[in-house]
């Protein structure tokens, strides 16, 4: 991690992964007790991630908002569903974060993952692979079974799944997938409202912050 980290403050981060360079924004508040990586694939959920990141920061949690796709890739639908590729990219980002902590470029902090839509199974798979580094996971929407049965069954980090109460198909699929998990888990239904409404954003923010406060260590 060659960037000079602004603490407190915002630091744009470029993360090399294969032939791609991923763009992220690292924000560390002055009162800091944990780090949550918010992942998305493409621009659509970016505004919602930004709003959630602000709430987490006010709660004393640093955030890395990370796009797992390059701008050139966003127009190709198939890559949005490529769980192995996106998981590899998120693993590369986590490796860079851990390296920064080991080199004292970043504070040593417990890490959580937060993902939405197509990135939900990606975050679950990565948390299962990095079970010593990831302490809690929150997924909004998406089909978590796409992570793969092996990863569902080996996940150790507590998992919160948020699904719109209007999306019966996704809710039913995720309930079936959760039966395969041995870790602490919970599924909550989002109120029937636009994903960008104040009601929906407030519910997501409240439940997400509460989950991380419950399960990330060393929070005060």
pLDDT value, residue 22? 95
Give yes or no for a contact between 25 and 12, defined as CB atoms under 8 angstroms apart: yes
| pLDDT for position 195 | 62
- Residue count of the chain: 220
The CA distance from 14 to 178, in Å, is 34
3-state secondary structure of 64: strand
Contacts of 121 (CB under 8 A, 6+ apart): 83, 142, 143, 144, 145, 146, 147, 148
Specify the pTM.
0.94
**What residues have CB less than 8 Å from 68, skipping those under 6 apart?**
22, 39, 40, 41, 86, 89, 90, 119, 122
- Check residue 196 and give its pLDDT: 65
Position 219 scores a pLDDT of 46
CATH classification for the domain delimited by 9-215, as one of 3.40.50.1820, 3.40.50.620, 1.10.10.10, 1.20.120.420 = 3.40.50.1820
Please spell the DSSP secondary structure of 149-213, one letter per residue. HHHHHH--S-EEEEEETT-HHHHHHHHHHHTT--S-EEEEEEPSS-TTSHHHHHHHHHHHHHHHH
Q: Which of 137, 205, 202, 195 is nearest to 166 (CA)?
A: 195
Which pLDDT score is estimated for 213? 93
List per-block mean pLDDT (blocks of 10 residues) for the chain, which spans 220 residues: 82 94 95 94 72 94 95 87 96 96 93 95 98 96 96 98 93 97 96 72 92 82
């Amino acid at each position: 991690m060659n960037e000079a980290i602004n603490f407190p403050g915002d630091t744009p981060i470029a993360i090399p992964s294969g032939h791609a360079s991923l763009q992220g924004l690292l924000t560390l508040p002055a009162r800091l007790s944990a780090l949550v990586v918010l992942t998305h694939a493409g621009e659509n959920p970016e505004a919602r991630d930004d709003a959630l990141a602000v709430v987490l920061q006010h709660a004393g949690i640093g955030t890395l908002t990370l796009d797992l796709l390059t701008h050139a890739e966003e127009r190709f639908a198939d890559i949005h569903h490529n769980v192995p590729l996106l998981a590899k990219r998120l693993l590369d980002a986590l490796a860079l974060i851990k390296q920064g902590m080991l080199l004292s470029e970043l504070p040593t902090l417990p890490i959580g993952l937060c993902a939405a839509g197509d990135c939900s199974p990606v975050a679950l798979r990565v948390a299962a692979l990095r079970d010593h580094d990831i302490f809690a996971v929150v997924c909004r929407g998406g089909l978590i079974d796409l992570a793969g049965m092996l990863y569902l069954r080996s996940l150790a980090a507590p998992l919160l799944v948020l699904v719109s109460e209007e999306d019966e198909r996704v809710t039913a699929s995720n309930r079936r997938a959760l039966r395969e998990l041995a870790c602490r888990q919970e599924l909550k239904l989002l109120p029937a409202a636009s994903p960008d409404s104040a009601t929906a954003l407030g519910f997501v923010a409240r439940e997400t912050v509460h989950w991380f406060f419950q399960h990330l260590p060393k929070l005060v």
